[in-house]
Structure 1
Amino acid sequence: MRLNGYRFRDTWFLPAPRRAVFDAVADLEGYPRWWPDVRSVRKIDEDTAELVCRATLPYRLVIRMRRAEQDASAGRLRVHLDGDLQGSLAARVLGHPRGTTLDITQEVVATKPLLRRLSPVARPLFQLNHALMMRRGRRGLLDRLA
Protein backbone atom coordinates (compact mmCIF):
# COMPACT_ATOMS: atom_id res chain seq x y z
CA MET A 1 0.00 0.00 0.00
CA ARG A 2 1.21 3.52 -0.78
CA LEU A 3 2.50 5.67 2.07
CA ASN A 4 -0.56 7.89 1.77
CA GLY A 5 -2.96 4.95 1.37
CA TYR A 6 -5.13 3.77 4.24
CA ARG A 7 -7.48 0.87 4.88
CA PHE A 8 -9.83 1.18 7.83
CA ARG A 9 -12.27 -1.39 9.14
CA ASP A 10 -14.74 -0.64 11.90
CA THR A 11 -17.54 -2.74 13.36
CA TRP A 12 -20.24 -1.10 15.44
CA PHE A 13 -22.84 -3.01 17.43
CA LEU A 14 -26.01 -0.94 17.80
CA PRO A 15 -28.97 -2.12 19.92
CA ALA A 16 -31.46 -0.85 17.34
CA PRO A 17 -33.49 -2.30 14.46
CA ARG A 18 -31.58 -3.00 11.25
CA ARG A 19 -33.76 -0.73 9.12
CA ALA A 20 -33.34 2.23 11.48
CA VAL A 21 -29.55 1.83 11.34
CA PHE A 22 -29.59 1.49 7.55
CA ASP A 23 -31.78 4.58 7.12
CA ALA A 24 -29.59 6.69 9.41
CA VAL A 25 -26.36 5.66 7.66
CA ALA A 26 -27.85 6.16 4.18
CA ASP A 27 -29.04 9.70 5.05
CA LEU A 28 -25.84 11.68 4.48
CA GLU A 29 -27.58 15.01 4.97
CA GLY A 30 -28.49 13.95 8.51
CA TYR A 31 -24.91 13.20 9.61
CA PRO A 32 -24.21 16.62 11.19
CA ARG A 33 -27.18 16.08 13.54
CA TRP A 34 -25.55 13.07 15.20
CA TRP A 35 -21.88 12.90 14.14
CA PRO A 36 -19.97 15.85 15.65
CA ASP A 37 -16.96 15.46 13.33
CA VAL A 38 -19.10 15.87 10.21
CA ARG A 39 -19.32 19.66 10.21
CA SER A 40 -21.49 20.10 7.13
CA VAL A 41 -23.07 18.27 4.21
CA ARG A 42 -24.01 19.85 0.91
CA LYS A 43 -26.20 17.83 -1.42
CA ILE A 44 -24.94 18.09 -5.00
CA ASP A 45 -27.46 15.78 -6.68
CA GLU A 46 -29.52 12.68 -5.84
CA ASP A 47 -26.41 10.48 -5.64
CA THR A 48 -23.70 12.91 -4.55
CA ALA A 49 -22.97 14.98 -1.45
CA GLU A 50 -19.96 16.92 -0.22
CA LEU A 51 -19.00 16.48 3.42
CA VAL A 52 -16.68 18.67 5.47
CA CYS A 53 -15.13 16.72 8.34
CA ARG A 54 -12.84 17.72 11.16
CA ALA A 55 -11.89 15.35 13.94
CA THR A 56 -9.28 15.88 16.66
CA LEU A 57 -6.28 17.03 14.61
CA PRO A 58 -6.43 20.65 13.34
CA TYR A 59 -7.25 20.05 9.69
CA ARG A 60 -10.46 19.56 7.79
CA LEU A 61 -11.25 17.15 4.99
CA VAL A 62 -13.60 17.96 2.13
CA ILE A 63 -14.89 14.70 0.70
CA ARG A 64 -17.34 14.17 -2.13
CA MET A 65 -19.34 10.95 -1.71
CA ARG A 66 -21.10 9.46 -4.73
CA ARG A 67 -23.53 6.60 -4.20
CA ALA A 68 -22.47 3.42 -5.99
CA GLU A 69 -24.86 1.01 -4.25
CA GLN A 70 -27.74 1.33 -1.82
CA ASP A 71 -29.65 -1.88 -1.21
CA ALA A 72 -31.74 -1.78 1.95
CA SER A 73 -32.98 -5.37 1.64
CA ALA A 74 -29.41 -6.70 1.46
CA GLY A 75 -28.13 -4.13 3.95
CA ARG A 76 -25.40 -2.88 1.60
CA LEU A 77 -24.17 0.65 1.01
CA ARG A 78 -21.16 1.67 -1.07
CA VAL A 79 -19.90 5.10 -2.07
CA HIS A 80 -17.01 6.42 -4.14
CA LEU A 81 -14.93 9.10 -2.44
CA ASP A 82 -13.24 12.03 -4.13
CA GLY A 83 -11.60 15.22 -2.89
CA ASP A 84 -9.13 15.22 0.02
CA LEU A 85 -9.57 11.44 0.17
CA GLN A 86 -10.06 9.26 -2.89
CA GLY A 87 -11.28 5.71 -2.79
CA SER A 88 -14.33 3.90 -1.51
CA LEU A 89 -16.38 3.24 1.57
CA ALA A 90 -18.56 0.17 1.95
CA ALA A 91 -21.00 -0.54 4.76
CA ARG A 92 -22.86 -3.71 5.60
CA VAL A 93 -25.84 -3.56 7.97
CA LEU A 94 -26.62 -6.93 9.54
CA GLY A 95 -29.56 -7.49 11.88
CA HIS A 96 -29.68 -10.08 14.63
CA PRO A 97 -31.94 -10.68 17.64
CA ARG A 98 -30.23 -8.18 19.99
CA GLY A 99 -29.71 -5.38 17.48
CA THR A 100 -27.62 -4.56 14.44
CA THR A 101 -24.00 -4.81 13.41
CA LEU A 102 -22.64 -2.13 11.10
CA ASP A 103 -19.41 -3.11 9.33
CA ILE A 104 -17.59 -0.22 7.65
CA THR A 105 -14.60 -0.63 5.33
CA GLN A 106 -12.76 2.33 3.85
CA GLU A 107 -9.95 2.12 1.34
CA VAL A 108 -8.59 5.57 0.61
CA VAL A 109 -5.63 7.53 -0.64
CA ALA A 110 -5.00 10.87 1.04
CA THR A 111 -4.78 13.50 -1.70
CA LYS A 112 -4.83 16.62 0.51
CA PRO A 113 -1.29 18.01 0.13
CA LEU A 114 -0.71 18.32 3.89
CA LEU A 115 -1.69 14.69 4.49
CA ARG A 116 0.38 13.44 1.55
CA ARG A 117 3.49 15.22 2.80
CA LEU A 118 3.08 14.16 6.42
CA SER A 119 1.86 10.57 5.90
CA PRO A 120 5.32 8.98 6.15
CA VAL A 121 5.85 10.33 9.68
CA ALA A 122 2.35 11.16 10.94
CA ARG A 123 0.58 7.96 9.82
CA PRO A 124 -0.04 6.73 13.41
CA LEU A 125 -1.54 10.12 14.33
CA PHE A 126 -3.80 10.06 11.27
CA GLN A 127 -4.95 6.55 12.18
CA LEU A 128 -5.65 7.62 15.76
CA ASN A 129 -7.54 10.67 14.50
CA HIS A 130 -9.68 8.38 12.35
CA ALA A 131 -10.32 6.01 15.27
CA LEU A 132 -11.45 8.88 17.50
CA MET A 133 -13.73 10.21 14.78
CA MET A 134 -15.31 6.79 14.34
CA ARG A 135 -15.76 6.38 18.09
CA ARG A 136 -17.63 9.70 18.27
CA GLY A 137 -19.70 8.68 15.25
CA ARG A 138 -20.75 5.44 16.90
CA ARG A 139 -21.63 7.26 20.11
CA GLY A 140 -23.64 9.85 18.17
CA LEU A 141 -25.50 7.22 16.21
CA LEU A 142 -26.33 5.34 19.42
CA ASP A 143 -27.83 8.54 20.85
CA ARG A 144 -29.71 9.25 17.59
CA LEU A 145 -31.25 5.76 17.53
CA ALA A 146 -32.17 5.70 21.25
Structure 2
Amino acid sequence: MDWTHYRFRSLWSLPAPPAAVFAVLERPEDYPDWWPQVRAVTRLDDGTGVITIRSLLPYAMTFTARETRHDPAAGILEIAVSGDIEGWARWTVTAEGAGTLARYDQVVDVTKPLLRRLAVPGRPVFRANHRLMMRAGRRGLLRHLEAV
Protein backbone atom coordinates (compact mmCIF):
# COMPACT_ATOMS: atom_id res chain seq x y z
CA MET A 1 0.00 0.00 0.00
CA ASP A 2 1.23 3.47 -0.86
CA TRP A 3 0.55 5.40 2.36
CA THR A 4 0.87 8.75 0.55
CA HIS A 5 -1.85 7.97 -2.02
CA TYR A 6 -5.39 9.14 -1.24
CA ARG A 7 -8.81 8.75 -2.84
CA PHE A 8 -11.57 10.94 -1.48
CA ARG A 9 -15.26 11.25 -2.28
CA SER A 10 -17.70 13.67 -0.71
CA LEU A 11 -21.39 14.02 -1.54
CA TRP A 12 -23.13 17.29 -0.76
CA SER A 13 -26.91 17.49 -0.99
CA LEU A 14 -27.80 21.13 -1.44
CA PRO A 15 -31.22 22.85 -1.60
CA ALA A 16 -30.37 25.00 -4.61
CA PRO A 17 -30.63 24.50 -8.38
CA PRO A 18 -27.65 22.81 -10.09
CA ALA A 19 -26.90 25.93 -12.17
CA ALA A 20 -26.58 28.05 -9.01
CA VAL A 21 -24.25 25.52 -7.34
CA PHE A 22 -22.14 25.18 -10.49
CA ALA A 23 -21.87 28.97 -10.77
CA VAL A 24 -20.36 29.14 -7.27
CA LEU A 25 -18.04 26.15 -7.69
CA GLU A 26 -16.65 27.41 -11.01
CA ARG A 27 -15.24 30.50 -9.24
CA PRO A 28 -12.43 29.13 -7.05
CA GLU A 29 -11.08 32.63 -6.41
CA ASP A 30 -14.22 33.17 -4.27
CA TYR A 31 -13.82 29.96 -2.22
CA PRO A 32 -12.04 31.76 0.65
CA ASP A 33 -15.21 33.89 1.07
CA TRP A 34 -17.32 30.86 2.04
CA TRP A 35 -14.92 27.95 2.73
CA PRO A 36 -12.81 28.75 5.83
CA GLN A 37 -10.11 26.15 5.11
CA VAL A 38 -9.40 27.55 1.65
CA ARG A 39 -7.03 30.25 2.82
CA ALA A 40 -5.98 31.77 -0.50
CA VAL A 41 -6.58 31.41 -4.23
CA THR A 42 -4.40 33.36 -6.64
CA ARG A 43 -5.40 33.22 -10.29
CA LEU A 44 -2.44 32.91 -12.65
CA ASP A 45 -4.60 32.93 -15.79
CA ASP A 46 -8.13 31.89 -16.83
CA GLY A 47 -7.50 28.20 -16.17
CA THR A 48 -4.73 28.09 -13.56
CA GLY A 49 -4.31 29.22 -9.99
CA VAL A 50 -2.39 28.64 -6.79
CA ILE A 51 -4.45 27.44 -3.83
CA THR A 52 -3.49 27.27 -0.15
CA ILE A 53 -5.61 25.20 2.22
CA ARG A 54 -5.39 24.54 5.93
CA SER A 55 -7.80 22.63 8.13
CA LEU A 56 -7.43 21.80 11.84
CA LEU A 57 -3.93 20.33 11.74
CA PRO A 58 -1.05 22.81 12.01
CA TYR A 59 0.11 22.68 8.41
CA ALA A 60 -0.92 24.31 5.16
CA MET A 61 -0.83 22.75 1.72
CA THR A 62 -0.19 24.79 -1.40
CA PHE A 63 -0.69 23.52 -4.91
CA THR A 64 -1.24 24.72 -8.44
CA ALA A 65 -4.60 23.85 -9.93
CA ARG A 66 -4.94 23.69 -13.71
CA GLU A 67 -8.39 23.35 -15.22
CA THR A 68 -8.68 20.24 -17.38
CA ARG A 69 -12.45 20.20 -17.90
CA HIS A 70 -15.09 22.90 -17.59
CA ASP A 71 -18.41 21.57 -18.84
CA PRO A 72 -21.51 23.40 -17.54
CA ALA A 73 -23.88 21.22 -19.60
CA ALA A 74 -22.54 18.06 -17.92
CA GLY A 75 -22.02 19.80 -14.56
CA ILE A 76 -18.33 18.87 -14.47
CA LEU A 77 -15.39 20.90 -13.20
CA GLU A 78 -12.04 19.09 -13.16
CA ILE A 79 -8.53 20.15 -12.29
CA ALA A 80 -5.04 18.69 -12.29
CA VAL A 81 -3.07 19.56 -9.15
CA SER A 82 0.66 19.80 -8.55
CA GLY A 83 2.72 20.99 -5.61
CA ASP A 84 2.21 19.66 -2.07
CA ILE A 85 -0.21 17.20 -3.67
CA GLU A 86 -0.17 15.71 -7.17
CA GLY A 87 -3.21 14.33 -8.96
CA TRP A 88 -6.68 15.51 -9.84
CA ALA A 89 -9.99 16.64 -8.39
CA ARG A 90 -13.47 16.82 -9.91
CA TRP A 91 -16.82 18.37 -9.02
CA THR A 92 -19.86 16.73 -10.63
CA VAL A 93 -23.04 18.74 -10.13
CA THR A 94 -26.38 17.04 -10.86
CA ALA A 95 -30.04 17.56 -10.06
CA GLU A 96 -31.31 15.73 -6.99
CA GLY A 97 -35.01 16.14 -6.35
CA ALA A 98 -35.67 19.86 -5.99
CA GLY A 99 -32.00 20.55 -5.27
CA THR A 100 -28.52 19.49 -6.22
CA LEU A 101 -26.04 16.73 -5.52
CA ALA A 102 -22.47 18.04 -5.69
CA ARG A 103 -20.05 15.11 -5.82
CA TYR A 104 -16.38 15.79 -5.11
CA ASP A 105 -13.81 13.19 -6.16
CA GLN A 106 -10.09 13.55 -5.58
CA VAL A 107 -7.17 11.22 -6.25
CA VAL A 108 -3.82 12.55 -5.08
CA ASP A 109 -0.37 11.64 -3.90
CA VAL A 110 1.10 13.71 -1.11
CA THR A 111 4.48 15.19 -1.99
CA LYS A 112 4.91 17.58 0.97
CA PRO A 113 8.01 16.19 2.78
CA LEU A 114 6.66 16.46 6.34
CA LEU A 115 3.43 14.67 5.43
CA ARG A 116 5.34 11.96 3.58
CA ARG A 117 7.47 11.34 6.69
CA LEU A 118 4.32 11.07 8.82
CA ALA A 119 2.40 9.03 6.22
CA VAL A 120 1.92 5.81 8.19
CA PRO A 121 1.08 7.09 11.67
CA GLY A 122 -0.66 10.20 10.34
CA ARG A 123 -2.90 8.63 7.69
CA PRO A 124 -6.06 8.27 9.85
CA VAL A 125 -5.59 11.80 11.18
CA PHE A 126 -5.03 13.23 7.67
CA ARG A 127 -8.21 11.50 6.43
CA ALA A 128 -10.20 12.86 9.38
CA ASN A 129 -8.77 16.32 8.74
CA HIS A 130 -9.97 16.11 5.12
CA ARG A 131 -13.48 15.04 6.24
CA LEU A 132 -13.66 18.03 8.60
CA MET A 133 -12.56 20.36 5.82
CA MET A 134 -15.20 18.99 3.46
CA ARG A 135 -17.95 19.28 6.11
CA ALA A 136 -17.00 22.89 6.73
CA GLY A 137 -17.01 23.53 2.98
CA ARG A 138 -20.55 22.18 2.64
CA ARG A 139 -21.77 24.32 5.55
CA GLY A 140 -20.07 27.38 4.06
CA LEU A 141 -21.54 26.74 0.63
CA LEU A 142 -25.02 26.33 2.13
CA ARG A 143 -24.71 29.71 3.88
CA HIS A 144 -23.34 31.30 0.70
CA LEU A 145 -26.17 29.94 -1.45
CA GLU A 146 -28.77 31.18 1.06
CA ALA A 147 -27.24 34.68 0.96
CA VAL A 148 -27.22 34.90 -2.85
1:69 Cα deviation from its structure 2 partner:
0.2
Tell me, what secondary structure is at the counterpart of 2:118?
A: helix
1:96 Cα deviation from its structure 2 partner:
3.1
Per-residue CA deviation, residues 97-119 of structure 1 (Å, 9 max, x unaligned), is: 32000011100000000111101
Whole-Å separation in 2 of the counterparts to 1:18 and 1:106: 20
| Letter of the 1:112 counterpart | K
State the match for 2:111 in structure 1: 111
Tell me, what secondary structure is at the counterpart of 2:89?
A: strand
Moved over 2 A (4+): none
Whole-Å separation in 1 of the counterparts to 2:49 and 2:20: 21
State the match for 2:47 in structure 1: 47
State the match for 1:66 in structure 2: 66
State the match for 2:6 in structure 1: 6
| Letter of the 1:20 counterpart | A
1:123 Cα deviation from its structure 2 partner:
0.1
Whole-Å separation in 2 of the counterparts to 1:13 and 1:118: 33
1:95 Cα deviation from its structure 2 partner:
1.2
Tell me, what secondary structure is at the counterpart of 2:57?
A: coil
1:90 Cα deviation from its structure 2 partner:
1.2
| Letter of the 1:42 counterpart | T
Q: State the Cα RMSD in Å.
A: 0.8
1:3 Cα deviation from its structure 2 partner:
1.2
Whole-Å separation in 2 of the counterparts to 1:143 and 1:13: 13
User: TM-score by structure 1 length?
Assistant: 0.98
1:2 Cα deviation from its structure 2 partner:
1.4
In structure 2, stretches of 5+ residues that fail to align are: none
Whole-Å separation in 2 of the counterparts to 1:122 and 1:74: 37
Tell me, what secondary structure is at the counterpart of 1:3?
A: coil
Whole-Å separation in 2 of the counterparts to 1:108 and 1:96: 28
Percent identity of paired positions between Structure 1 and Structure 2:
45
Instruction: Compare 92-101 and 33-42 and name the one that shifted more.
Output: 92-101
Tell me, what secondary structure is at the counterpart of 1:130?
A: helix
Whole-Å separation in 2 of the counterparts to 1:127 and 1:96: 27
Tell me, what secondary structure is at the counterpart of 1:58?
A: coil
